[in-house]
A = this chain, B = another copy of it.
Amino acid sequence: MIDKQSPIPIYHQLEEYIKQLIENGKLKPDEAIPSEREYSEQYQISRMTVRQALNNLVNDGYLYRQKGRGTFVNKQKVEQKLQGLTSFTEDMKERGMMPSSRLISFEIIPAEPQLARKLDIKENTPVYEIKRVRMADNLPMALETTYLPANLVKGLTEEIINKSLYQHIEEKLSLTIREATQQIEASIAKETEVNHLQVDSGSPVLLIVRTSFLEDGTPFELVKSAYRADRYKFVHTMQRAAK
């Protein structure tokens, strides 16, 4: 279980070991794990090393401590950090619905000043503009416009868009999106939205503007969406850094 000769730090080995037990369900929520001194004796490692492993797991939200009582397994899972960073497709699948799209327009346009600023490119640099109605279980859910700098994503075709834009980006172009900023606001559906989303005029919509960045911080895409408020709730989980 613990290999002292391994180049992998002992605390990290213990960390992974306990993490596995939790993820396998062998350690259940609110169950106490062995005490620091027990780990220390069982594996013949110092208590401070055990503490280093446990501290990391506490920071990651796997465990919580209670002075005088012990260390316990936490309930929630750590995942879901990318909620909202995923594509519409993944988002809908997650919600158990069948996603689909209807392409409204697809063209290359010169970037307007505001767009150029957000994508950190020069004015009038060519960008792809993709307008789609996004549907879930064949019901209109959102009206979405995506802007991609043409130099970053060459040779985009209607076919690729209809298949899976994200898959193309990640697998074929091997680009990884690392970070995204979202702005969320409420509004009343405008005329195009009323038409494409098939809602009454005066209906509320949730506007989401997302800017994604690559590993090196380059802005990669800007997506503006208008969601039908009666069908869509945006959910996300945040963790506070440990004190």
Contact = CB atoms under 8 A, between A and B. Distances in A.
A237 B72 contact: no
Given A56-B243, A85-B238, A241-B81, A187 B215 contact: no
A176 interface: yes
Nearest to A213: B76
Interface string A203-243: 01111000001011100000000010100111111111111
Contact of A233 (B184, B227, B235, B238): B184
Contacts of A242: 56, 59-60, 178
Nearest to A15: B243
A81 B236 CA distance: 12
A159 interface: no
Interface residues of A, number: 56
Count this chain's copies in the assembly: 2
Contact of A76 (B29, B179, B204, B236): B179
A79 B64 CA distance: 23
Nearest to A184: B234
Contacts of A29: 217
Nearest to A179: B239
B239 A236 contact: no
A183 interface: yes
A182 interface: yes
Nearest to A58: B215
Contacts of A81: 238-241
A186 B178 CA distance: 28
A240 B177 contact: yes
Nearest to A72: B216
20 contacts: A56-B242, A56-B243, A59-B242, A60-B241, A64-B217, A75-B217, A76-B213, A81-B239, A83-B238, A179-B239, A181-B237, A182-B237, A183-B235, A184-B184, A184-B233, A184-B235, A185-B229, A186-B204, A204-B205, A236-B236
